[in-house]
Amino acid sequence: MRKVKSLSDDGVVDVVRKWFSSLIASPPRLLVLGFAMIILLGAGLLMLPFSHTQDSAPRFIDALFTATSATCVTGLVVVDTGTYWTTAGQLIILTMIQVGGLGFMTMATLFAIILKRRISLKERLVLQESLNQTSIEGIIRLVRKVVVYALTIELVGAILFTARFLFDMPVGEAMYKGAFHAVSFFNNAGFDIMGDYRSLVDYVGDPLVNIVTMLLIILGGLGFVVLSDLVDFRNMKRKLSLHSKVVLSMSGILIVTGAALILIFEYTNGKTFAPLGFGEKLLAAFMQSVSPRTAGVNSVDIAGLRQATQFIIIILMFIGASPGSTGGGIKTTTFTALVGAVVAMVRGKEDVVLFKMRLAQERVYKALTVTLFAFGLVIVATMILSTTEDHQFLMILFEVTSAFGTVGLSMGLTGDLTVAGKIIIILMMFMGRLGPLTLTYALGRKQGRALYRHAEGKIIIG
């Protein structure tokens, strides 16, 4: 007799295959799935006996929180990285930071290049989405630059850190901590292994540690397209693009303005700046201004800052780094487009003009969409945590914004989060790393071009 296929045979395989094919049909969905798989794999590895120093394995929610924070290069931690995890566990976290910072597709493409395997069109499209590029032209060349720039900067940072740490610890420990912090800070992760959640508090007045840290954070947050432009500009091969000009100018404005305001508000604060000399105060002010650009490194007690300073940091965290970088937030270019639109409206101009170049209206709409999506996510998460967590509103808003901006700064709430609170922060870190628009495109159904336009109507604004 002929065997009749049942649903449990080839039919099920076909259904699963079709479902999986539709799941990874678009670059945004593949990015979401890829980051989720890395996080789950990392959480599983962190629960193994060789990863932690405790007699019993960590709770899955804590391992998942740590893995998400590392892969999404955030830096929020529920346990102290330097004492809770073994060297093997710290190396697992460091690997997730590197993969999460550069992007898993960038790492996969690197291995494909090494193995001389052809990069398919679909893989190029995913790379385009991952690196936030407008086209696939030159995308493989950009990947090579990304890897070379990242490894070179991290190596130089590791050497400088090691040279400084040799005065405080044995050679092996100095080299290990130098390499760990160079990778963590360049990728804007904010993880540190100094112990007891201290970050760089012990080095608040150290010029070398502070300057190297800030340079690593800034270089990681500018974006690889800007770094490539700067290298070519130095070689006199080309002029800076509009994108690079906007990123560099807005980054400089935010850093200097933030540092000036923080210095003013904290100058006489006995819990932070008052005991420091003027030079140390300047270093601390610039560090606390650079770090909220998604790095999560602090040289003073964040909980001891005045509320005005904490609110400034919230604003800086929400803006974040630049597109195509290792950082999060709505991005400097988005903020610049919004400011440009406001200036144009106030002046009665129709176009947004930046550096004598007109910005397409579509870009302004996208900037507005990203900002409203991000603002909505932060509001909803803050409202939920205000219900689940028994803490001050500003502390909760600070934590949520830090998670969304993949910053990692905290006023002390992370360790006290309930399970529900940890889940919300995990989701915020995940959405902040991928970006609200990427998630929307991944979860939504692709719409075709409209065949008609509605009649124009008018409403009163303002």
Q: Give the residue with greater pLDDT, 235 vs 261.
A: 261
Res. 271: pLDDT tops 60: yes
Instruction: Return the beta strands (E) in 348-391 as ranges.
Output: 352-354, 357-359
Classify residue 203 by its DSSP letter.
G
pLDDT for res 449: 60
* Contact in structure between 86 and 193 (CB atoms under 8 Å): no
pLDDT for res 105: 58
Ramachandran angles phi, psi of 24, nearest 5°: -105, 20
Q: Can you say how many angstroms the Cα of residue 173 is from the centroid of all Cα atoms in its chain?
A: 27
Q: Which of 350, 331, 352 lies closest to 341, judged by CA?
A: 352
Res. 461: pLDDT tops 70: no
Q: Please state, in angstroms and rounded to a whole number, the distance separating the CA atoms of residues 144 and 320.
A: 25
pLDDT cut 90: percent of the chain above it: 44
Least reliable range by pLDDT among 146-150, 387-391, 404-408, 420-424: 146-150
* Residue in the block written with tokens 């799941």: 23
End-to-end CA distance of the chain: 78
Q: Please state, in angstroms and rounded to a whole number, the distance separating the CA atoms of residues 405 and 409.
A: 10
pLDDT for res 238: 66
pLDDT for res 5: 47
Find the mean pLDDT for residues 192-207: 86
pLDDT for res 64: 95
pLDDT for res 194: 86
Q: Give the residue with greater pLDDT, 435 vs 154.
A: 154
pLDDT for res 11: 61
**pLDDT per residue as tens digits for the range 318-342:** 998 888 777 788 889 999 999 999 9
Indicate the SS3 state at residue 302.
Answer: helix
Q: Is the dihedral of CA 332, 338, 343, 347 positive or negative?
A: positive
Q: In the predicted model, what is the mean pLDDT of the chain?
A: 83
Q: Please state, in angstroms and rounded to a whole number, the distance separating the CA atoms of residues 330 and 431.
A: 11
pLDDT for res 4: 47
pLDDT for res 31: 73
Cα separation values, 340 from 245, 256, 315, 351, 358, Å: 14, 20, 18, 9, 10
**pLDDT per residue as tens digits for the range 277-320:** 999 999 999 999 999 987 888 889 999 999 999 999 999 999 98
**pLDDT per residue as tens digits for the range 17-57:** 555 555 555 566 777 787 888 999 999 999 999 999 888 88
Q: Which of 336, 429, 333, 327 lies closest to 377, judged by CA?
A: 429
Q: How many CA atoms lie within 13 A of 453 on its CB side?
A: 3
pLDDT for res 25: 52
Ramachandran angles phi, psi of 357, nearest 5°: -130, 135
Find the mean pLDDT for residues 114-118: 61
Q: Where are the alpha helices (DSSP H) in 223-323?
A: 224-234, 242-266, 278-290, 307-319
pLDDT for res 1: 46
Res. 82: pLDDT tops 50: yes
Residue 457 pLDDT class (50, 70, 90 cuts): confident
Residue 227 pLDDT class (50, 70, 90 cuts): confident
**pLDDT per residue as tens digits for the range 134-149:** 666 666 777 777 788 8
Q: Please state, in angstroms and rounded to a whole number, the distance separating the CA atoms of residues 69 and 98.
A: 12
H or E, element range at 440? helix 436-443
Would the pTM count as exceeding 0.75? yes
